[in-house]
Amino acid sequence: MTRMSNSTLSIVAAAVILLLPLVPGVPAYLFDLFDNIGLAALVATGLVLLTGVGRLTSFGQAAFCGIGAYATGLLTTKFGWSPWATLPMALVASGLVSFVLGAFTVRLSGHFLPLGTIAWGMSLALLLGSFAFAGAHSGIGAIPPLRIGGLALLQPNQIYGVIWACVLLAVGLCHNLLQSRFGRSVRLLRQSAMAAAAFGIHPARVKLFIFVFAAMLAGLSGWLFAHDQRAINPTSFGIDAGIRYLFMAVVGGGGYIWGGVAGAACVLILKDVLEQVLPLVSANPTQIEEICFGIILVAILQMAPEGLWPLLARLRPAPRPEATAPAPMPPPAAPTRKEASMEMLRLVGLGRKFGGLNAVDNVGFAVRNGEIVGLIGPNGAGKSTTFNMISGALEPSAGEIWLKGQRIDHRTPQAIAGLGLARTFQHVKLVPDMSVLENVALGGHLTGRAGPLHAMARLERSEERALMAQARAQTLRVGLGGVIDRPVGTLALGQQRLVEVARALCNNPDVLLLDEPAAGLRHFEKQALAALLRELRAEGRAILLVEHDMGFVMELTDHIIVLEFGRKIAEGAPDVIRTSKDVIRAYLGAEA
Ligand code: ADP
Ligand code: MG
């Protein structure tokens, strides 16, 4: 079997799809079916991004189709616009409405979000049917066809090319988006909004973008639908249509870029086959059709819980392995930090209450550049809570936090990351199905500028290459070069912690917070980590280290803070701490 790269395969697939009308003998009714598949695939591709990747479940996409369809229906029939001129309006209308709805909806969590989409999905369809000037329930007829040159695209095999060009464009845009800094941030976001924020990602903005983009794809589908059918009414845009689109995305494979197309094809071809076969065997075909349809789709989901696309993808020729990346660049030298000894981080009277519990109580200490400070104490002492307050994930109930001379306790995690702070999480927060390299690159989010629109047009490739080179360098630095392309979820927990360290380093931090980085590491891995932390110290970075391995802490740190029940019970050089009676009682004694 010949080996083909993914992009060659995509180009061949695109050519086959677009040239189909030139093939003699394809029956006209098939083009009708293909057109419908293409229209649905546009909506479902948006849902792949929104629901499959972003985990924002929307039942309401059909409403955005309706907005696109009605925008062009009204403008062409009531105001005499040419169909092509209404395209931007259809996109703007669906984009604007989704922006307003999304601003409220994407902030909802758990079940409230899908419920929210059901609510406005129903009301928008009802709304469309309630305007007399839009034909109320009978809708709008006599919508003009699209024209290319002098040719009106009246036949299914004529509008086919336009529909599928749009589908291929949509798939291409989504593909580019997912292969970018923005796409990676969407995937981190669904894993952990807290981790995303810690690296400068704004969850609400990212969600709103994919929400609006998915709605605009639905709007485009609606616009095409109006000129394909040339008559529209509200029933096509109700909640049941919305459910069908969601179903297509899930059946096709919500996590895969071609999943929307696969799902639309599967559902609509199945429906078509049933419509042809059932009348031969039953006097009551419509009812049986619904039942058969349901059974088959549930069976598909049972057999392929990730959808059909991953099954189909296994059939294709094996892709050539990606070209090996250029030699890694050395990590950037940490410039000015070495110069004078400077206070990088200071906590003053810091406190945090959870209900009646003082998780952190009046804690104060400082970390200087070129210094590793250990923060130790038994489980529940308040170490992670302290980290969460420093990194902006939790608001302190009392006290002040100063980072490089600026007060940061009420700033956002994104702003704090932007000031040069990075952290790891005690409970790793990585994207398991993304490679080590891509996970590490998430840490460099703030070093990039390109937004999603640049990514879609692939205008950010040089920035992306620099970001990946940086991620590669940091991955090698923590000793994970051998597993750089492996999905993170396949690594041992200890190695996942090292991925967290590399990700933090990717932000080139002046202040580094490490929450139990050595837990789960083997002896030689701990030695390597200790060597790395010494190097980072020599570069002038300030490191605050939470760790339970006392040997590791005593050997590595310059200064130790001991917490117990949220309070600081001791502070000093490792030798002092080692012999402190309070500490031995509270902590080391428990270990011995
Ligand atoms: P450590 O990291 O030192 O083991 P933590 O900072 O995680 O300790 O927890 C300190 C205390 O605060 C514990 O008693 C813990 O149960 C409590 N705690 C931590 N986070 C929360 C929270 N989000 N809600 C309520 N209690 C919390
Ligand atoms: Mg902890």
Using DSSP's 3-state secondary structure scheme, residue 404 falls into coil
Alpha carbon of 565 to ligand 1 centroid (Å): 10
Longest dimension (CA), the chain: 92
- CA of residue 416 to ligand 1 center, whole Å: 22
Question: Residue of the nearest CA to atom 19 in ligand 1?
Answer: 385
Residue among 66, 54, 57 at smallest CA distance from 139: 66
Helix (H) or strand (E) holding 438: helix 436-442
What is the arithmetic mean of pLDDT over 533-549?
A: 94
Residue 394 near ligand 1, beta carbon < 6 Å: no
Q: What mean pLDDT comes out for the span 503-528?
A: 93
CA 386 to centroid of ligand 2, rounded, Å = 9
Tell me, using a 6 A CB cutoff, whether residue 352 lines ligand 1.
Answer: no
What pLDDT sits at residue 297?
A: 80
Report how far ligand 2's centroid is from the alpha carbon of 511 (Å). Answer: 19
Q: Assess whether the C-beta atom of 382 lies below 6 angstroms from ligand 1.
A: yes
- Rounded CA gap, 345 and 403, in Å? 5
- Which-ligand-closest: CA of 376? 1
Q: Look at residue 58 and tell me whether its pLDDT is greater than 80.
A: yes
Q: What residue's CA is closest to ligand 1, atom 14?
A: 380
CA of 132 from ligand 2 middle (Å) equals 62
577 C-alpha vs ligand 2 centroid, how far in Å?
20
Per-residue pLDDT of 160-218, as tens digits, reads 999 999 999 999 999 999 999 999 999 999 889 999 999 999 999 999 999 999 999 99
Ligand closest to the CA atom of residue 424: 2
Find the DSSP H helices in 253-326. 259-281, 285-303, 309-315
pTM score above 0.85:
yes
Q: Which of 241-250, 322-331, 466-475 has the lowest mean pLDDT?
A: 322-331
- Judged by DSSP in three states, 275 sits in helix
Tell me the best of 194, 357, 360 to mutate to test the pocket of ligand 1, counting ligand atoms within 8 Å of each CB and taking the most. 357
Tell me the three state secondary structure of residue 542: strand
**Ligand 1 centroid from CA 382, angstroms:** 6
377 lines ligand 1 (CB under 6 A): yes
What residue ranges do the domains of the chain occupy?
31-273, 338-420+509-592, 429-508
The preferred substitution site among 354, 568, 587 for testing ligand 1, maximizing ligand atoms within 8 Å of CB, is 354
Q: For the residues 472-477, what does the mean pLDDT come to?
A: 95
Residue 59 CA to residue 46 CA, distance in Å, equals 12
Q: Do domains 31-273 and 338-420+509-592 have the same CATH topology?
A: no
Q: Say which ligand is closest to the CA of 351.
A: 1
Instruction: Report how far ligand 1's centroid is from the alpha carbon of 379 (Å).
Output: 9
Please give the number of the atom of ligand 1 that sits closest to the Cα of 387: 6
CA-515 nearest atom, ligand 1? 2
Closest CA to 189 of 514, 434, 536: 434
Task: Using the predicted structure, report yes or no on whether residue 528 has a pLDDT greater than 60.
Answer: yes
What is the number of the ligand closest to the CA of 377?
1
Cα of 161 from ligand 1 centre, angstroms = 59
378 lines ligand 1 (CB under 6 A): no
Ligand nearest to the CA of 426: 2
CATH topology of domain 31-273: ABC transporter involved in vitamin B12 uptake, BtuC (1.10.3470)
Average pLDDT over residues 329-352: 72
Give the residue, by CA position, lying nearest to ligand 1 atom 22.
Answer: 354
Does residue 318 register a pLDDT over 70? no
Verify whether ligand 1 is closer than 6 Å to residue 385 (CB atom): yes
Question: What does the H/E/C string look like for 56-103?
Answer: CCCCCHHHHHHHHHHHHHHHHHHHCCCHHHHHHHHHHHHHHHHHHHHH
Query: Which residue has the least CA distance to atom 13 on ligand 1?
Result: 380
By alpha-carbon position, which residue is closest to atom 5 of ligand 1? 382
CB atoms within 10 A of CB 395: 10
Q: Among 296-310, 314-328, 382-396, 547-561, which is the least confidently predicted range?
A: 314-328
Q: Is 384 in the pocket of ligand 1 (CB under 6 A)?
A: yes
What per-residue confidence (pLDDT) applies to 319? 47
Closest CA to 201 of 383, 438, 412: 412
Q: Is the CB of 379 under 6 A from ligand 1?
A: yes
Fold of 338-420+509-592: Rossmann fold (3.40.50)
Closest ligand to the CA of 566 = 1
Q: Reply yes or no on whether the pLDDT at 573 is more than 80.
A: yes
SS (H, E, C) 379-398: CCCCHHHHHHHHCCCCCCCE
Quote the CA–CA distance of 9 and 165 in Å, as a whole number: 17
Stretch 446-465: mean pLDDT: 89
pLDDT at residue 200, as a whole number: 95
CA distance 391 to 386: 9
To test the pocket of ligand 1, the residue of 385, 545, 563 to mutate (highest count of ligand atoms within 8 Å of its CB) is 385
Q: What's the average model confidence in pLDDT over 555-576?
A: 93
- Compute the distance between CA of residue 177 and CA of residue 170 in angstroms, rounded to an integer: 10
> What pLDDT score does 321 carry?
44
Q: How far is the CA of 24 from the centre of ligand 2 (A)?
A: 68
Give the nearest ligand 1 atom to 377 CA.
3
Measured in Å, residue 386 CA sits from the centre of ligand 1 at: 9
What is the pLDDT at residue 588?
53
Q: Which residue has the higher pLDDT, 488 or 450?
A: 488
- For the stretch 558-567, pLDDT in tens is 999 999 999 9
Q: What rounded mean pLDDT belongs to the chain?
A: 89
Is the CB of residue 351 below 6 angstroms from any atom belonging to ligand 1? no
Identify whether the C-beta of residue 439 lies closer than 8 Å to the C-beta of residue 489. Answer: no
pLDDT tops 70 at residue 339: no
On the question of pLDDT at 437 being above 60, the answer is yes
What does the pLDDT read at residue 307? 81
Using the mean position of ligand 1's atoms as its centre, give its distance from the Cα of residue 377 in Å.
Answer: 12
pLDDT at position 14 is 85
CA of 45 to the centre of ligand 1 (A): 41
> How confident is the model at residue 316, as a pLDDT?
61
Pocket of ligand 1 contains residue 395 by CB under 6 Å = no
Burial label, 318 (beta-carbon count in 10 A; 0-12, 13-18, 19+): exposed
Going by C-alpha positions, the residue among 121, 337, 156, 352 that lies closest to residue 237 is 121
Q: Which atom of ligand 1 is nearest to the CA of 563?
A: 3
Asked if residue 579 has pLDDT above 90, the reply is no
Which residues have C-beta within 8 Å of that of residue 96, sequence separation ≥ 6? none
